[in-house]
Structure 1
């Protein structure tokens, strides 16, 4: 069968979009797993951090489902949501919309440019919870803020939260990619403590409302960026006094940069807005046979050279700020 795809990225966190809104595809859940394995895996024909399936919604402008490269479905994906926001906004001719995700309907909007020439979208990252039961993190405590986690290195203290996918965040003096990868793998092997797995982020405080974040993403591995991880890290940085609530936080990452604003209310609830690029790399068609997925072929590819060049400028500028 022929499958039309759009390759895109948010902060270098790249995805394959498949539009199901017109009902032209009728994938089973098993076929979504196969597509995620065979198209999105880094050693496969396209390669990405996952697939974003865009579907009709009964109560929102569209529905987003995000599948990781291992075939697991994520509760949310902040960088992916920005890409979906742009795609649906342009498809429907809207500036603001609501996108249905696994845990909530989220507001998204086309906003002022984060960097010259870069189409920028703001998305709500909700619901936010510090409850160890919600994450889940097996613990006798109701929350886990800046503490050790049994089975992980004793020099690292973590804050655990869901946004709504599970995250643990640690603040360090220097972020080392090898350590992020090692600790991420360790954390996801602790099934007695973190039964659903977890995204692991290392944060470096850069001062003046800036942080650097690198993340090991559950179901994917070490990534250029993870939108919910940057959101979770921004909240943790506010809680620990590194940055301020209600003010813009510039979050730098190996793939570029985004902005976050974290708000809280009198009831102890947190609200996060994530703002950043939604860059198109290319569109194409894939000839795919589920009985022989390894034979997939790409054709009719159109590359968006101008968008790629513009984002390269942003990424270069971001590196000078770290």
Structure 2
């Protein structure tokens, strides 16, 4: 029997599959089809998810993480997902600080102090970071870098920052009313359809400044659409916060980022010219799922045995204590 885990970070939900436990690893084409079937919000397993996290063996790390979005596209990185993989590998190996290999870089991860009773918490390095047009990529916007800049091609008044972490992100600090207004979805859909500005698409985040070192962020995620939270989005938004609003945030200082699914904490670091972000937040196991190997490979979930852990309710109790919870409804 294969074991899947249904997990979430800030209510950004995933299925987690450790291929080292299978008789043979599944080929990428099968994994992509599996992700699409598992994650479908109507027909998928146990309500679906935002993506599939695949764990494989790695030569110089505890494991390698590959991220497949709900639509079958591959993501360079996933900040909420890597925390759940960190928890899984920490519990599997007994290690509290180690390296996870991603498609872009080896990243240091660790067990962190708990945010609340029953809410297991982990920290992960988010890097590499780049502002270069080629890294996102973007074009036809008349800039080599975009930091707190009006882009009339995108919106007449909002100021944007573009940063790859390494997922590409476009961030604007907006009034609270814009969080649920039409602009975010319109911009997200436009820039993730064929367009001359972000030819490979881009994650779009609107954020409001709620006070010193405090944000609320909402993301339209490439390959997914609206999510309850986007870990790399909140990391990128924290960098933009430090750069665009130094009177409210600073390097090496804890930032709290609320989102429709809860909250995370971030610390933006700079060493010489290199930025990186420490992303701290929950890693919740919703369910343990046993399924025959052949059925898993075929995407047949009829015989899956789903055992709920109760952790989702513990996280929900924590969420009810948070401010700004009602700014945007959860998905």
TM bucket normalised to smaller = over 0.9
Report whether the alignment pairs 1:234 with 2:233: no
SS in structure 1 of the partner of residue 33 of structure 2: helix
How much does 1:268 deviate?
2.8
- Aligned equivalents of 1:144 and 1:320: distance in 2? 29
How much does 1:62 deviate?
0.3
- Aligned equivalents of 1:191 and 1:73: distance in 2? 20
How much does 1:270 deviate?
1.1
Query: Deviation digits for residues 239-276 of structure 1, max 9, x if unmatched?
Result: 111322211101000000000000123x3321210000
Moved over 3 A (4+): 148-151, 286-293, 319-322
Quick one: structure 1 residues 22 and 137, their matched pair in 2 at CA, closer, same or farther if it must change by over 3 Å? same
1:142 to 127, 144, 154: 144
1:164 to 160, 163, 166: 166
- Root-mean-square deviation (Å): 1.9
- Aligned equivalents of 2:324 and 2:32: distance in 1? 39
How much does 1:142 deviate?
2.4
Please report the TM-score for the alignment, with normalisation by the length of structure 1: 0.93
Please report the TM-score for the alignment, with normalisation by the length of structure 2: 0.91
Q: Which runs of 5+ in 1 are unaligned?
A: none
How much does 1:29 deviate?
1.5
SS in structure 2 of the partner of residue 133 of structure 1: helix
Q: Which residue of 2 aligns with 1:209?
A: 213
Q: Which residue of 2 aligns with 1:103?
A: 104
1:184 to 188, 192, 195: 188
How much does 1:196 deviate?
1.3
Q: Which residue of 2 aligns with 1:18?
A: 17
Query: Deviation digits for residues 194-240 of structure 1, max 9, x if unmatched?
Result: 11111000000000311000000100000000000000011101111
How much does 1:319 deviate?
3.9
Aligned residue pairs total: 318
Q: Which runs of 5+ in 2 are unaligned?
A: none
Tell me which moved more, 27-36 or 122-131. Answer: 27-36
Residue correspondence of structure 1 range 30-41 to structure 2 within 5 A:
30-41=29-40
